[in-house]
Amino acid sequence: QSVLLFDKSSSKPLWRNDQAGNTYNVAISRDGKYAAAATAGEESNVNSNLLILWDVSKEKPLWQYHSSGNFHDVSLSDDGKFIAGATGCPDRRAYIFSRDSNKPVMRSEPLTYDSPVAKSKISKDGSLAAFTSEGGPDSSVVMLFSKDSTKPLWKFEDGKQRAARGLGFSSDGKNIGVVTMAGDAYLFGKDGNKPLEKWPLGKAQGTM
């Protein structure tokens, strides 16, 4: 697979990078200056299981980071200064990076027993990032991290240990939305793990 960058005015790519391998997700900063990809692969292959960051003016990446598990998701702050990533087994961690280095600013402990950390969304200023899991033992529906600590500020567990594959962070950085495969939607404020609202939707929900 490839990562391609487009200008909105043309279907012809500005550049194409064929080194990214199997890509789970891509993201671009709000100002359009930085892009990232979350890729899959093998633990033993240092050129797979990558989080890759680009300055979009160049096809060659600024840096890449290899994990023992697939990178399932990636998200950029508005100015691309900070990047959040989430990994699968056997790593199962939340990450926050600065665009200046492939050394993580924040690398959590494993967050589940044996399932991936599914989604990552970073706030517009890069100070906070939310993560969901694929459920199972020791899992949480959503976890909120600061870039300044490897332990979550808070986490929410619904007692069902189901996967949560839809995650959103409001543009003002105050609210987090989550939908689960158990069929529930939640709204949280950034300051606590008590849901502000809950909507039982009655069927499994995917990405958002």
pLDDT in tens, 129-172: 999 999 888 889 999 999 999 999 999 998 877 899 999 999 88
pLDDT in tens, 88-114: 999 999 999 999 999 999 999 999 999
pLDDT number for residue 59: 92
Query: Which residues contact residue 155 at a Cβ distance below 8 angstroms, ignoring those fewer than 6 apart?
Result: 140, 142, 143, 144, 193
> Looking at residue 98, what DSSP letter applies?
E
The C-alpha R_g of the chain, in whole angstroms, comes to 16
What distance in Å separates the CA atoms of residue 191 and residue 28, rounded to the nearest whole number? 27
Which of 65, 107, 83 shows the shortest CA–CA distance to 27? 83
What distance in Å separates the CA atoms of residue 53 and residue 65, rounded to the nearest whole number? 9
Rounded (10°) CA dihedral 85, 72, 167, 80 = 30
Q: Report yes or no on whether pTM surpasses 0.85.
A: yes
Find tokens 């200023």 and name the residue. Answer: 125
**For residue 80, what are the CA distances in angstroms to 10, 18, 36, 87, 133?**
23, 22, 9, 20, 24
